[in-house]
Amino acid sequence: MQTECIPERFDFAPVERRAVVVGFDGGTITSDAGALLLGLTDRAIGLVGRFARCFVDARRPALIEHEVKTLVGQRVLALALGYEDLNDHDELRHDPVLAGKLKARRHKKCAAVAGKSTLNRLELSRPQPSRYHKISHDPAAIEALFVDLFMGAHAAPPEEIVLDLDATDDPLHGNQEGRFFHGYYGNYCYLPLYIFCGDHLLCAKLRPANIDAAAGAVQEIERIVRQLRERWPKVRIVLRADSGFARQELMAWCEANAVDYLFGLARNVRLVRHIAAELEAAKAESALTSRPARRFKDFLWTTRKSWSGRRRVVAKAEWTQGEANPRFVVTSLDAEAWPAQCLYEDLYCARGEMENRIKECQLDLFADRTSAATMRANQLRLWFASMAYVLICALRRIGLVDTRLARASCATIRLKLFKIGALVSVSVRRIKLAMNSACPFQREWALTYARLLAAAA
């Protein structure tokens, strides 16, 4: 009977009459040498330290080997590097790049950073410490930190910002707390709410799926706007979202608090009938040119029951592929400053870029790995992934401007800049990482290093 073991040597086909032999015996080598740039980014924006201050550690100090800051930084950096599972950390804890130190400070038997069990207790932390959960976290402080990091990214207050809101599905495959079947997405899921300003993430709120897409949006926007105006009292704020957020409560709040809005508006028979002439004109033009044609109409509109008054609606009467394709938006923006076509094509359609940011969070940084039993733990997982996004976004903003990676996704930045093999040699005076000489992005790496170093000074 064969024993299950790992061979010490792997033989491959020879190359030019030379045997090709492979083994895991190269010594101290890391595959994530480029992650040093993440540490430099953290020095520039102070993310890990500020995030760690949102936790309270009630453990006995004399028994603590891995401080909360170490645990938080370890989890955020690992997600940024593509390690989504806590199980990975039983091996990663020995990686000198991720550890940031060579050995444990107090207990010789401990590794430099924590393993999966300690990190699991961190993820299961509660708002209040208990006998079995010594580490607790402050949800309000974490939510406020996202906005603080956003404002800290600006050297001066902007004149105007556009906040994009969207809900998406987070599929579930277990019996997690708060799981419900969502008819639109066709699966059991959560329905997280994301709020972005350009590339900046301001809110990642985990919600059950048995609610309206706009549920809780007023509370989140009210919190964010209040925090923004405390530091930027003169900034003009515009909310932008699809028709799932065109709700009386949210629009009324915006009108009462000097916040502009631009929301998609679900079409109905009355709205389509109102632009019948424009659709006929677009149909006639399309028949002549054999190309899509569109007309725009600007008018005041109100619903029969749900709206409190008349609001400006812009309609796109489009004829394409042999059929009508009408679209509507409702807005508080002035028609003189934003004519109908410009409002729709230049301002409203730009919200589609937010979809790419959500994809980065969920696909590249594993924000959808919400497999814990409770919503509280899954919300914390979502925040860890979101902080990893903010960290890479800061690196992209500070270090990659005007390079070929300036608009690269988080996954591409990870592959090109972080996943670099290096031989680690330790002497009395220094630790040297000899990185791969064939790395094709050496110029971008060096430039990013220089820029981050200047920002961290």
CB proximity list for 395: less than 8 A, separation 6 or greater:
37, 38, 41, 413, 448, 452
Residue 442 located in a structural domain: no
Residue 244 located in a structural domain: yes
Residue 19 located in a structural domain: no
Q: Could you tell me the sign of the dihedral formed by the alpha carbons of 273, 276, 277, 279, in that order?
A: positive
3-state SS class at 176: coil
d(CA 18, CA 310): 81
> Residue 26 pLDDT > 90, yes or no?
no
Report the first-to-last Cα separation within the chain, whole angstroms: 62
Query: 198-253, pLDDT tens digit by residue?
Result: 999 999 999 999 999 999 999 999 999 999 999 999 999 999 999 999 999 999 99
Q: What is the pLDDT of residue 97?
A: 82
Query: 147-206, pLDDT tens digit by residue?
Result: 999 999 999 999 999 999 999 999 999 999 999 999 999 999 999 999 999 999 999 999
Same domain, 338 and 355: yes
Structure tokens at 239: 């909310």
| 67-102 core/surface letters (b: 16 or more CB in 10 A; e: else) | ebebbbbbbbbbbbbbbbebebbeebbebbbbbbee
Same domain, 109 and 199: no
> Residue 3 pLDDT > 80, yes or no?
no
Query: 11-25, pLDDT tens digit by residue?
Result: 899 898 898 888 887
Query: 285-325, pLDDT tens digit by residue?
Result: 999 999 999 999 999 999 999 999 999 999 999 999 999 99
Q: What is the pLDDT of residue 210?
A: 95
Domain boundary residue among 310, 334, 364?
364
207 neighbors 244 (Cβ within 8 angstroms): no
Same domain, 287 and 172: yes
pLDDT interval class at 357 (50, 70, 90) = very high
**Higher per-residue pLDDT: 423 or 206:** 206
> Residue 7 pLDDT > 70, yes or no?
no
Same domain, 263 and 200: yes
* Residue 310, domain extent: 153-364
Same domain, 393 and 270: no
Domain boundary residue among 364, 385, 412?
364
Same domain, 158 and 235: yes
Q: What is the pLDDT of residue 103?
A: 64
Q: What is the pLDDT of residue 104?
A: 60
Q: In sequence order, what are the beta bridge partners of 189? A: 171, 180
Q: What is the pLDDT of residue 188?
A: 97
pLDDT interval class at 283 (50, 70, 90) = very high
Q: What is the pLDDT of residue 133?
A: 84
pLDDT interval class at 127 (50, 70, 90) = confident
The lowest-confidence range among 1-5, 93-97, 150-154, 354-358 is 1-5
Residue 422 located in a structural domain: yes
Shortest CA distance to 189 belongs to which of 397, 2, 368?
368
Shortest CA distance to 85 belongs to which of 120, 38, 36, 33?
120
325 neighbors 319 (Cβ within 8 angstroms): yes
Domain boundary residue among 364, 391, 419?
364
Q: What is the pLDDT of residue 5?
A: 59
Same domain, 324 and 255: yes
Same domain, 274 and 378: no
Q: In sequence order, what are the beta bridge partners of 333? A: none
Residue 145 located in a structural domain: no
387 neighbors 76 (Cβ within 8 angstroms): yes
Same domain, 310 and 386: no
pLDDT interval class at 105 (50, 70, 90) = low
Residue 252 located in a structural domain: yes
pLDDT interval class at 1 (50, 70, 90) = very low
Q: Could you tell me the sign of the dihedral formed by the alpha carbons of 260, 262, 263, 266, in that order?
A: positive
Residue 388 located in a structural domain: yes
Residue 167 located in a structural domain: yes
Q: What is the pLDDT of residue 63?
A: 80
3-state SS class at 347: helix
Q: What is the pLDDT of residue 106?
A: 62
Same domain, 91 and 188: no
The lowest-confidence range among 3-17, 21-35, 109-123, 375-389 is 3-17
**How many structural domains is the chain composed of?**
2
Same domain, 380 and 356: no
Q: What is the pLDDT of residue 431?
A: 84
Same domain, 115 and 171: no
Stretch 107-136: mean pLDDT = 84
